[in-house]
Amino acid sequence: MSRNSEKAQSLLNRYHAQQYGLPQTRPKSTKFVKDLKEAERYRGLCVQEISSKVTRINDILVTESQIRDLNDELNKLMKEKRAWEYKIKELGGPDYLQFKQKSSSDNGLVVRGYKYFGRAKELPDVVKLVEMTKQELTKAREMKKGMKNDEALMNNINSVIFTPEYYGLYDDD
């Protein structure tokens, strides 16, 4: 019995793929696609691939290194999907970007512009990174709060010390 990979390479299967235009690989750049239907088809392929990888990343049997690789691939696919959404909008199709903003309840955790999906959020490095980011945010808030206090102090100093008399505007000489 033949393997599936051998069956896919048979002459009849290649002929049918050429005849009926079965899905090929997506182009790396969206700028070469000029047809709206083709762009939507490529976006759909991205969505399917994202869905399968999210399912796989949540599998218990996947190792940590595979989780990292899957998460990297998911981030690349999300970037590619966004590029196709911009291209579809440019070609006059539906605005998928608007729908994304309304439904921002994705399961991903975003840290410094990088999104972590599924079990990738539980990796030890990611947990440390999230804690460090939270600490940085609290420090930034404290600094900002301190800066506001400094600004208020400077305004008080300016209003008290540097009155028109200080500049000599009311001198009778």
Instruction: Tell me if 13 sits within 8 A of 2, measured CB to CB.
Output: no
- 19-68 pLDDT per residue, tens: 776 556 788 888 888 999 999 999 999 999 999 999 999 999 999 999 99
Q: How far apart are CA 39 and CA 26, in angstroms?
A: 9
Cα-based distances in Å from 143 to 11, 42, 136: 68, 46, 10
Domain boundaries, the chain: 4-109, 123-173
Most confident of 16-20, 141-145, 162-166: 141-145
Rounded to whole angstroms, how far apart are CA atoms 37 and 45?
A: 12
The two structure tokens encoding residue 116: 């972590």
Per-residue pLDDT, 172: 66
C-alpha distance from residue 31 to each of 74, 88, 173 (Å):
22, 11, 76
CATH architecture of the domain 4-109 equals Orthogonal Bundle (1.10)
Confidence band (pLDDT; 50, 70, 90) for 103?
very low
Average pLDDT over residues 119-124: 90
For residue 171, what pLDDT band results from cuts at 50, 70 and 90?
low
Strand partners, 109: 116
Mean per-residue pLDDT for 133-151? 78
* 74-101: pLDDT as tens digits: 999 999 999 999 999 999 999 988 876 5
CB atoms within 10 A of CB 150: 10
Whole-number pLDDT of residue 47: 93
Contact 57, 107 (CB under 8 A): no
Query: Would you tell me how many other CB atoms lie within 10 Å of the CB of residue 85?
Result: 23
Q: Report the pLDDT value the prediction gives residue 10, as an integer from 0 to 100.
A: 78
